[in-house]
Structure 1
Amino acid sequence: MTRKLHVKTGDNVQVISGKDLGKTGKVIAVDFENARVKVEGVNIQTKHKKPNQAMQQGSIVKQEGFIDASNVLLYCEKCGRGVRTGIKVNEDGSKVCVCKKCGTELD
């Protein structure tokens, strides 16, 4: 059963808790089953790769890990921080996310 989340792939978000508090980045991937998101430059983890036929030499790779979706807020460029959002319905029936503080439309 999938959950509905307040963020989607490509959104700019700000981390509001944890070791990466205050960092901003773009959402790379979303795991709807576990309500987790992967954000560019946040929760960097070290992974050790074993050597194999394709890659003759082993290496240490740094990559982003998933964090809980409740730890991020959509980032508003005008306000300069993560903000709470609301939904606005346009005249043509399309829905848009808007900043609760300043009212600007978010991507």
Structure 2
Amino acid sequence: MHVKSGDKVVVISGKNINKTGKVLRVLPKENRVIVEGINMLTKHKKAGGPTQPGGIIKYEGPINASKVMYYCEKDKTGVRVGYSFLADGKKVRVCKKCGEVLDK
């Protein structure tokens, strides 16, 4: 996948267009990502006794990975991600716009 957990991304389509957030979780089998503060869903939870109160819970739902782009801090915009090899043979992700190595 072009994004990993901890990456800052920008949403490029849908109801949350142009919003940025941090990737909390990547679901590669489903080609989906969970982004902080994006695609907020509500769940009505019933009380489970005196120790577990009920209420309305808000949480982030998964969105398709094709709807997000990596957010480059240098360019202040969403960018495409490319791949290249370092001198030691390690494969790393690279910003297509500025050429900066994204993997630390």
TM above 0.5: yes
Q: Which runs of 5+ in 1 are unaligned?
A: none
Q: Please provide the CA RMSD for this pair.
A: 1.1
Instruction: Provide Cα deviations, 1:42-84, integer angstroms capped at 9, x if missing partner.
Output: 00111111100340x3111111000000000111111101101
- For the residue of structure 1 that corresponds to 2:75, the secondary structure is coil
Aligned match of 1:62 in 41, 58, 66? 58
Q: Which runs of 5+ in 2 are unaligned?
A: none
1:94 correspondence with 2:104: no
Q: Aligned partners of 2:101, 2:37: CA distance in 1, in Å?
A: 25
TM-score using structure 1 length: 0.89
Aligned match of 1:15 in 11, 15, 26? 11
Q: Aligned partners of 2:54, 2:95: CA distance in 1, in Å?
A: 46
Q: Aligned partners of 2:55, 2:3: CA distance in 1, in Å?
A: 33
TM-score using structure 2 length: 0.91
1:37 correspondence with 2:24: no
Runs of 4+ in 1 over 4 A off after TM superposition: none
- For the residue of structure 2 that corresponds to 1:106, the secondary structure is coil
What count of residue pairs does the alignment treat as equivalent? Answer: 102
Alignment correspondent of 2:2: 6
